[in-house]
């Protein structure tokens, strides 16, 4: 019995060309959701920092200690706000015939592609901040994990619902084709 297994190399120049995807921008209202959530988080940090200094007998509570603590938190909040604003335009999604793509990132750029035939289910999520701005997040799950594999935030309700229905419809069609 001979073993005819082969694993030949493929050069990058021999790979097929992938059609460029048309990306859709995340709803601008989601930037407000993110900035507001960040502001609340850093406000809680500032209150906690103030309380730690004020109620701790081991800390003198001078202007310098308050300034360093609260100033550091304020600086981090401003830096975080800058990163959020600069990274927001890179949050985009695209739907192609066989997969869905999502890109994000500023320093670390991430592009996630999930083929429709790997999707197990999809769900819409709406937190309190998103509810205020009437936005939803589409969570897509594939086999083998407990958390979502792809989350597209900042979608208006009608877009999110249509996108979820489309993804689940494509999942059902691709599942029928593979049998």
Tell me the pLDDT tens digit for each residue of 58-91. Answer: 888 788 989 999 999 999 999 999 999 999 999 9
pLDDT of 29 above 80: yes
Q: Which of 6, 64, 32, 44 is nearest to 131 (CA)?
A: 32
Which 3 state secondary structure label does DSSP give 126? Answer: coil
pLDDT of 27 above 90: yes
Q: Which of 5, 32, 2 is nearest to 154 (CA)?
A: 32
pLDDT of 179 above 50: no
> Domain limits of the chain?
29-87, 92-177
Q: What is the mean pLDDT of residues 140-160?
A: 88
What pLDDT score was predicted for residue 75? 97
Architecture of the domain made up of 92-177: Roll (2.30)
pLDDT of 166 above 50: yes
Cα dihedral sign, 79-112-140-165: positive
pLDDT of 94 above 70: yes
pTM above 0.85, yes or no: no
The beta strand positions in 90-175, using DSSP E, are 92-95, 99-104, 110-115, 119-125, 135-142, 150-156
Show Cβ contacts of residue 157 under 8 Å, excluding neighbours closer than 6 positions. 134, 135, 136
Q: Please report which confidence band the pLDDT of residue 10 belongs to, taking 50, 70 and 90 as the band edges.
A: confident
């Amino acid at each position: 019995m001979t073993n005819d297994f082969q694993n030949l190399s493929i050069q990058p120049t021999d790979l097929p060309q992938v059609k460029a995807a048309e990306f859709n921008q995340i709803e601008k209202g989601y930037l407000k959701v993110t900035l507001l959530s960040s502001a609340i988080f850093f406000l809680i940090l500032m209150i906690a920092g103030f309380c730690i200094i004020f109620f701790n007998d081991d800390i003198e509570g001078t202007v310098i200690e308050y300034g360093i603590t609260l100033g550091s938190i304020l600086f981090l909040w401003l830096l975080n706000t800058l990163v959020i604003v600069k990274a927001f335009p890179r949050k985009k999604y695209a739907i192609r015939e066989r997969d869905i793509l999502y890109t994000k990132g500023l320093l670390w750029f991430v592009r996630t592609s999930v083929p429709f035939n790997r999707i197990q289910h999809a769900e819409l999520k709406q937190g309190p901040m998103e509810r205020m701005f009437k936005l939803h997040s589409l969570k897509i799950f594939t086999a083998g994990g407990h958390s979502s594999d792809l989350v597209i935030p900042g979608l208006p309700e009608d877009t999110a619902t249509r996108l979820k229905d489309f993804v689940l419809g494509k999942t059902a069609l691709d599942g029928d084709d593979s049998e």
